Amino acid sequence: MNRETGQISSLNSRKITVRSIFNNKHSNSLIVVFSKEEESHALLHVTSILLHYFKVGQTDRGFEILTSEVLEYPSFVELDEQNRIILTFCSSTGVYKFWDLVNYEYLFEIKGTNVSEVKLCPGVILVKHKEVDNKLKVTIVDIKTGATIQNLNLKLGNYGKVTYLEIFYSYILFKQEKRSLKVIDWKKEKIVNTQSDSKIPVSYIFLYKHMKLLGFRGQKIAIWKITGEVETERFEDHILPGEDVLSTSLSFTSQQDVVISCCLLNPTNSSHCTVNFSEIRSGRLIGKIDCFELGQLTTVSYCETRNEVFVGNSAGQITVYNVK
């Protein structure tokens, strides 16, 4: 919606299903990943639409990008603003391709032979290979050139399947079913820390500005150092809606010093929600909006330039709050 004129633009009016939307600040456009009804929604398409066309209601004026790729399920598209990279995976060829987010040009590719997963981190890529002879090979790749930086072979032993493998700069977090979480300095190939199961978050959001991790466990969050130590364990008056929290339920200031969260006033009542403003360094509650009239909240987004919070609920309603 154009805030000045009230003009509303729709992306779904062309018999398409939108899979994801990405605000490409480098080209002042929105990148839209979608599927078409005429193709039984079997293929993914990617288009770039200048923000100007949304203001005037001409969303059909965009142009399709990555047209050389046939992205049939379970192919995927991942957009990484931090590295200015687009990653595509084509399931029919097993190839991971990397594209420039600024001009959409092809950069390099990683062939998927014996590769089970690819993960992105600022500056580097972690390539997880398939397990062979009770070992897990991990390759660290330069995200700008595609050149191999280092190979590691992680010994698995009889400790069950790998349940967690993430990379954060020079550290890898590695976990098996029957072992504690290991924090490995991959440059030195050395274990720098371990953590017991009782403290390990279910998932993370990486706070790049401060090289810290915001971890989720149950209905709580905590701040971790990337070396595995808990830094801020308790957040004041902060109860998340559930254990499977989506990243859309949280937003951050540009400096990542404040987290804005969809929370519950009472852990047993999912229909009475609040939007909490919490200081990341201390966990202190610095503000709250009571959203009782909105019911169950599903998403929150903070606009720093306007000092506004956009809140969405399970009924599809969007409400804007001024937080000056």
pTM: 0.87
- Show the CA angle centred on residue 163, arms to residues 161 and 164, nearest 5°: 135
How is 90-153 classified by DSSP, letter by letter?
ETTTTEEEEEETTT--EEEEEE-TTEEEEEEETTEEEEEEPPBTTEEEEEEEETTT--EEEEEE
Structure tokens belonging to residue 300 = 């929150």
What pLDDT is recorded for position 14?
66
**pLDDT tens digits in sequence order for the chain, 324 residues long:** 777 777 777 776 668 899 999 999 999 999 999 999 899 889 999 999 999 998 888 888 999 999 999 999 999 999 999 999 999 999 999 999 999 999 999 999 999 889 999 999 999 999 999 999 999 999 999 999 999 999 999 999 999 999 989 999 899 999 999 898 899 999 999 999 888 776 677 788 889 888 899 988 888 899 998 888 889 989 999 998 876 666 778 999 999 999 999 999 888 888 899 999 999 999 999 999 999 888 888 899 999 989 999 999 988 899 999 987
Residue with tokens 């991959």: 186
Instruction: Give the span between the Cα atoms of 85 and 97, in whole angstroms.
Output: 10
Please name every residue paired with 85 in a beta bridge, in sequence order, or none if there are none. Answer: 80, 100
**Residues ≥6 apart with Cβ < 8 Å to 201:** 213, 215, 216, 217, 222, 224
What pLDDT is recorded for position 196?
77
What pLDDT is recorded for position 238?
93
**Residues ≥6 apart with Cβ < 8 Å to 305:** none
